[in-house]
Amino acid sequence: MQDITLGTLSLNVLFLGGFIGGCLVLIKYTKSAFAKVITKPITDLLQNNKKELDEKITNLQSDLNNKINTLGADQCKNYIVRFLSDVENGEKLSEVEIERAYDAYEKYTNLYHGNSYIHSRWNKVMGNKK
């Protein structure tokens, strides 16, 4: 221990600091290269797949909404046609059935924007009943 001088001690400390610094730079470079070579392509692939899946989900939602609207409009038409047939045949209808028919007709015309033979038939049959 007697041969250790301030010069050798400072040289050893500088060497140790340089070695640790070099190791840290090497680790950082390796991490950066790993991110560029391995992680980035995987991330890009996942993002592209996510975009494709989002588009497919949006298309499926749109198709489903269209089918639901078509089904709703068809149900309204069926109910209205059945109701108008009962009215024409002189069936006794309760007040609730009549209110339900008016609700269905309003929904058909306002929500589904239906304006077809249902509309003209409704005006003809219900116009005679007022």
User: Could you read off the pLDDT of 65-86 as tens digits, one per residue?
Assistant: 999 999 999 999 999 999 999 9
47: pLDDT strictly greater than 70: yes
pLDDT level of residue 38 (50, 70, 90 thresholds):
confident
Residue 65 confidence (pLDDT):
94
Measured CA to CA, the distance from residue 84 to residue 126 in angstroms comes to 8
Check residue 2 and give its pLDDT: 66
Return the number of other C-beta atoms located less than 10 Å from residue 76's C-beta: 22
CA distance 23 to 20: 5
Is 90 exceeded by the pLDDT of residue 104?
yes
Between CA 54 and CA 59 the distance in angstroms is: 9
pLDDT (0 to 100) of residue 31: 86
Domain boundaries, the chain: 46-130
